[in-house]
């Protein structure tokens, strides 16, 4: 069966950042490389939606710096192993930004259709 006709499932990914000092600086230092990969994943349809998680002050104080504390994604893939592979090869994972002990990858069933 070719990959173009394979069944794709949705997965929710919660990738919190480590809480040790220097993590935000490490995140910012590799962010552009992460965004290049994320953009390619989105353009291919693998990443349906993704983005940074921040502290609440990003909303309550819009002038404050956005303190990123993790990432979240909705992924469409043939298997959870494909999702794990993508996450484990991301620069945020390999450079020690995301906390592998707290990473969550789980099947996701949307109550409402995702935008095309």
Domains contained in the chain, CATH given: 15-58+65-107 (3.30.70.1060)
pLDDT digits (tens, 9 = 90+) for 61-107: 878 777 899 999 999 999 999 999 999 999 999 999 999 999 999 99
Q: Note if the pTM is more than 0.75.
A: yes
Q: At 11, which helix (H) or strand (E)? A: strand 9-16
DSSP 23-74: HHHHHHHHHHHHHHHHHHHHHTTSEEEEEEEE-THHHH-TTS---EEEEEEE
Reported as a pLDDT band with limits 50, 70 and 90, residue 1 is very low
* Angle, CA of 11, 16 and 19, to the nearest 5°: 170
């Amino acid at each position: 069966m070719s990959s173009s006709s394979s069944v794709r499932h949705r997965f929710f990914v919660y990738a919190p950042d480590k809480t040790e000092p220097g993590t935000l600086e490490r995140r910012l230092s590799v962010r552009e490389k992460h965004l290049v990969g994320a953009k390619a994943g989105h353009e291919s349809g693998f990443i349906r939606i993704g983005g940074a998680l921040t502290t609440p002050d990003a909303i309550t104080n819009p002038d404050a710096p956005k303190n990123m504390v993790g990432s979240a994604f909705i992924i469409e893939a043939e298997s959870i192993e494909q999702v794990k592979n993508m996450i484990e090869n991301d620069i945020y994972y390999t450079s020690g930004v995301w906390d592998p002990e707290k990473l969550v990858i789980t099947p996701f069933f949307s109550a409402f259709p995702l935008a095309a």
